[in-house]
Structure 1
């Protein structure tokens, strides 16, 4: 992981994050000064950012919002106070409302981004300066350390480019914590088609099958917010196994970029998971990212032990053959 340390200093009223990357400082500078690239990592998993404004000049402002899987919103605003290309820049970082105005009672912080060359590439140093010990304690209690670490650790995929980062690696699993896993797969095809493959019942029947010898027997899908779905599989003749299926509800929809749904195994009292599915296209390839929230580590481990990731890879391979072509 790129992040090597995150330390808070109550005496100096600072929090310092250090991360190392195998790219030059110019590439790191470009990522932090382009809002479209910033959106891919500025926000921890499950809370992706959208920058509504980005006026990159001294005195200019940037505003953004992060949206949770359940549609909750957290806003922020930067005021650019110093720019030293390509070595770094400084901002006043504030919690913001829907209009981009600072929220009364929430702390504002001076945040310094520095990009330095190293023998292996470059180093990011992000130093946040607080006005009081209480403000530092407040953001630490809100999970700022964990959030910044998870967000910055997403930078590898952005810096490398999709094909260099993911091509040929198949379906990849990352265990983020006791309740969250992230699964990624690069598909050689446009985002609109990959989106349809995940939401069109007829297309789903063609590829979302897991191992050979199974067929999708039910595909009832309403992807509107609040809409429900039910999908089920059964073994074909000569294949061993018991029919099973899932049902759930759509919580959030941002076509064709993101869809969040609950998932429950039909006919059981097993707890539901929250499945946060996003699609990012670059140069004709689409990165599919599935962030799953489990109720606890035991449920997470039980599901992963079923061979879910292997089944997903077989399905993705089939999608590329029969849907993407």
Structure 2
């Protein structure tokens, strides 16, 4: 975790986060000056930001939205007042309406981003000021403090060279808490090919099979928000096992970037989990991140005990071998 401190000061109505990273100041600055990199961490897991405009200069403006796994959209904008590369960015951070106007009913703040050397790396200090106690209290109630910490916890991956950081490590599974699991896998391919491989039935049938000896018998997806999907598999020949399937509903569809769905084992009596699948590309390498929310710890542990990670890695290796190489 790169965050070294995060705290609020009610007397000055400020919130301050300090984080250090083992990269030069110029590299750290670049993550904030490039909207495609900024999108990968400016928002906690499950609420990624999408910048629809980005004019980083005094008097410029940046518009962005954060989208929840349920498809709720939270619109915001920056009014940029100062840019001193690579040392400082100052902007008003405001909520906005669908037509791009400032939402006066929501809290307003000013944020100062300061960048400086720190040992063999660099440090960013994020200082957010509020004009009233009410605005500060409301943002704290909305989880801004935790959101900042979670968001900046993603910046290490953004700053890393994905080829050195993730390629060749296979599928990794992290137990976040009792009901959340994060699965990551890097591919030496652009994300538009990964998106196709996850959404086009003829491609899915070639790789989404788990261990050898299985075939995909059903692959249906109405790829719109509110649309449903259904996949099914069966053993081939003398392979042991029984046919099974999954089904669910599409909650968020952000082409080539994000897909959130519910998922349940067909015919099973237990509740559905929520799968939040995201693709981030840097220099031709795509990092796939799958965040799974389970109804409870028992269901999480039951699913993981099936050997899910090994089965996913077998499928992803097949995806690289038989789809990405042939489709590139």
TM-score by length of 1: 0.93
Q: Give yes or no for contact 1:111–1:129 (8 Å, CA) kept in 2.
A: yes
Q: Could you say which residue in structure 1 is the equivalent of 2:136?
A: 136
Instruction: Give 1:55 shift.
Output: 2.0
Q: Give yes or no for contact 1:77–1:101 (8 Å, CA) kept in 2.
A: no
CA distance in structure 2 between the partners assigned to 1:56 and 1:190 by the alignment: 27
Instruction: Give 1:29 shift.
Output: 0.9
Distance 1:84 1:103, change over 3 A: same
Q: Could you say which residue in structure 2 is the equivalent of 1:110?
A: 110
Distance 1:221 1:52, change over 3 A: closer
Q: Could you say which residue in structure 1 is the equivalent of 2:284?
A: 284
Q: Could you say which residue in structure 1 is the equivalent of 2:236?
A: 236
Q: Could you say which residue in structure 2 is the equivalent of 1:302?
A: 302
Unaligned runs of 5+ in 1: none
User: Are residues 1:263 and 2:290 paired?
Assistant: no
Q: Give yes or no for contact 1:227–1:249 (8 Å, CA) kept in 2.
A: yes
Task: Determine helix, strand or coil for the equivalent of 2:93.
Answer: strand
Greater mean deviation of Cα atoms: 170-179 or 88-97: 170-179
Q: Could you say which residue in structure 1 is the equivalent of 2:3?
A: 3
Instruction: Give 1:279 shift.
Output: 2.1
Task: Determine helix, strand or coil for the equivalent of 1:182.
Answer: strand
Q: Could you say which residue in structure 2 is the equivalent of 1:89?
A: 89
Greater mean deviation of Cα atoms: 213-222 or 71-80: 213-222
CA distance in structure 1 between the partners assigned to 2:140 and 2:298 by the alignment: 28
Unaligned runs of 5+ in 2: none
CA distance in structure 2 between the partners assigned to 1:217 and 1:54 by the alignment: 45
CA distance in structure 2 between the partners assigned to 1:195 and 1:63 by the alignment: 25
Instruction: Give 1:294 shift.
Output: 1.9
CA distance in structure 2 between the partners assigned to 1:303 and 1:127 by the alignment: 42
Greater mean deviation of Cα atoms: 141-150 or 183-192: 183-192
Q: Could you say which residue in structure 1 is the equivalent of 2:148?
A: 148
CA distance in structure 1 between the partners assigned to 2:172 and 2:5 by the alignment: 25
Instruction: Give 1:34 shift.
Output: 1.6
Q: Deviations over 1:184-206 (max 9, x none)?
A: 11112232322222122222222
Task: Determine helix, strand or coil for the equivalent of 1:30.
Answer: helix
Q: Could you say which residue in structure 2 is the equivalent of 1:196?
A: 196
User: Are residues 1:68 and 2:77 paired?
Assistant: no
Instruction: Give 1:271 shift.
Output: 0.8
CA distance in structure 1 between the partners assigned to 2:268 and 2:105 by the alignment: 46
Q: Could you say which residue in structure 1 is the equivalent of 2:207?
A: 207
CA distance in structure 1 between the partners assigned to 2:189 and 2:324 by the alignment: 6
Q: What is the aligned length?
A: 325
Distance 1:209 1:159, change over 3 A: same
Distance 1:310 1:25, change over 3 A: same
Task: Determine helix, strand or coil for the equivalent of 1:196.
Answer: helix
Q: Deviations over 1:140-171 (max 9, x none)?
A: 11011121111111112221132222111111
Q: Could you say which residue in structure 2 is the equivalent of 1:21?
A: 21
User: Are residues 1:52 and 2:52 paired?
Assistant: yes
CA distance in structure 1 between the partners assigned to 2:236 and 2:323 by the alignment: 21
